[in-house]
Amino acid sequence: MMLLVVIFAGLVAGAAAERLVTPQGALNRGPGPEPGHPGTDRAPRPRRRRSRRRILGWTALILVVAMLVTTVGGYLWARSVFNKIDKVDVSAALSSGSGTNYLLVGADNSIGSGEQREGVDGVRSDTIMVLRIDGGKAQMLSLNRDLWVTNPATGNQGRLNATYNQGPENLVRAVTQNFGIPIERYIEIDFGSFSGLVDSFGGIEVHFEHPSFDLASGLDVKEAGLVHLDGAQALAFVRSRHFTEVVDGQPRPEGGLPDVNRTMRQQTFLRAIMGKASSSRNPVKLLSAANTMSGGLRVDDDMSMLDAARFTWSMGRLDPQTVSLPVVPRTTSGGAAVLELRPGAEDVLAGFR
């Protein structure tokens, strides 16, 4: 069927090309003496004009075939990349609001990282963000993993990222029930795929006030200013929980709340990688990047390839505003250090409902 379409399109294009180079009078000429016949003053038509029509016709055919082959080939490649992405059954927990809210989750499947926390066993959702797209505008909100919430599956209190132990659907429900944020799309990426994604775009640039390091994550930035990070260093930057700056030759551990600081670095990373996507106008490069990360990517079972393409397009053209959620530290009766919402949080959350 596709071959017939290609041939038909080529024939149409060839006919159109021939019509363009054939004099109008020749198209309307009826029976009569041929050019050059005695009794007519028409000059013989040069043979070269016929050759030119034939060349234009074949050129048009080749261009149409090439265009169709490229389009079909690109579609089939995109389809094969999308089909490799795992689909997770979260549709029962999805809901919609005035805009489109994407729940972006960075899951840490690594073993032996030394960061296992109380009440969080197995795979952890270490990065939890809501990206809201509404009317050509975008906002990005980080939900700290240490937020103290009610687990929909158990009814018990615990950290937000612990709700992932009962699966992605439970995490979606936890976000909606505890913060009133409807989630329409779910996208999860394994931390191990971050590195390949960054390298597929040639690295990212991040600004550092001072030389910085984190012995636990492997971050090692020797100079201040705009620093180019490859995939490995970008991953170390995103995962850093013991961020230390070198000021006047002396190490200075980062102050404030570690989990809050970490979410800010995650937003910085996401903005940087979105900037890379927006600066790339090469669809082959974008598909190659998607192919690189497809093995560590999971999306909701309601997402179609068109939905995925729409999200990728939005990433490339939007500059999301980062929004901070007001939180305050608290120690539970069991001695766990957690975070709770403080006054002003409801105003922030209202912008995502």
158-203 confidence digits (pLDDT tens)? 999 999 999 999 999 999 999 999 999 999 888 767 777 888 888 9
pLDDT at 199: 86
Give the N- to C-terminal CA distance of the chain in Å, as an integer.
47
Q: What is the mean pLDDT of residues 278-295?
A: 66
- pLDDT score of 249 more than 60: yes
Q: What is the mean pLDDT of residues 152-163?
A: 94
Cα–Cα–Cα angle for 340, 179, 100, nearest 5°?
140
pLDDT at 39: 52
DSSP assigned state of 95: -
d(CA 324, CA 199): 28
d(CA 309, CA 316): 11
Cα–Cα–Cα angle for 274, 279, 284, nearest 5°?
95
Q: Are 190 and 296 in contact (CB under 8 A)?
A: yes
- pLDDT score of 225 more than 50: yes
- pLDDT score of 118 more than 50: no
d(CA 221, CA 311): 32
pLDDT at 73: 73
Letter string b/e over residues 125-141, b meaning 16 or more CB atoms within 10 A of that residue's CB: bbbbbbbbbeeeebbbb
Handedness of CA 47, 53, 57, 63 (dihedral sign): positive
- Alpha-carbon distances, residue 79 vs 72, 83, 91, 305, 328 (angstroms): 10, 6, 21, 7, 45
- Alpha-carbon distances, residue 201 vs 30, 73, 140, 342 (angstroms): 63, 23, 22, 39
Residue 222 CB-density burial (10 A; 0-12 exposed, 13-18 middle, 19+ buried): exposed
**Residue 11, φ and ψ in degrees, nearest 5:** -65, -40
Average pLDDT value for the chain:
79
Pairing state of beta strands 137-142 and 321-323? Answer: parallel
- Which residue, 98, 143, 279, is CA-closest to 201? 279
Q: How confident is the model at residue 218 (pLDDT cuts 50, 70, 90)?
A: very high
Q: Which of 24-28, 308-312, 327-331 has the lowest mean pLDDT?
A: 24-28
Q: Which of 47-56, 126-135, 204-213 has the highest mean pLDDT?
A: 204-213
Percent of the chain with pLDDT over 90: 40
Q: Extract the tokens encoding 274.
A: 């979105």
- pLDDT score of 90 more than 70: yes
The residues near 164 (Cβ < 8 Å, ≥ 6 apart) are 105, 107, 123, 124, 125, 170, 171
Q: Are 318 and 271 in contact (CB under 8 A)?
A: no
The residues near 54 (Cβ < 8 Å, ≥ 6 apart) are none
- pLDDT score of 42 more than 60: no
d(CA 289, CA 74): 14
**Residue 28, φ and ψ in degrees, nearest 5:** -95, 0
3-state SS, residue 213:
strand
**Residue 46, φ and ψ in degrees, nearest 5:** -60, 140
Instruction: Name which residue leads in pLDDT, 295 or 186.
Output: 186
pLDDT at 124: 59
Q: Where are the alpha helices (DSSP H) in 22-161?
A: 24-28, 47-83
**Stated length of the chain:** 353
Handedness of CA 221, 226, 228, 234 (dihedral sign): positive
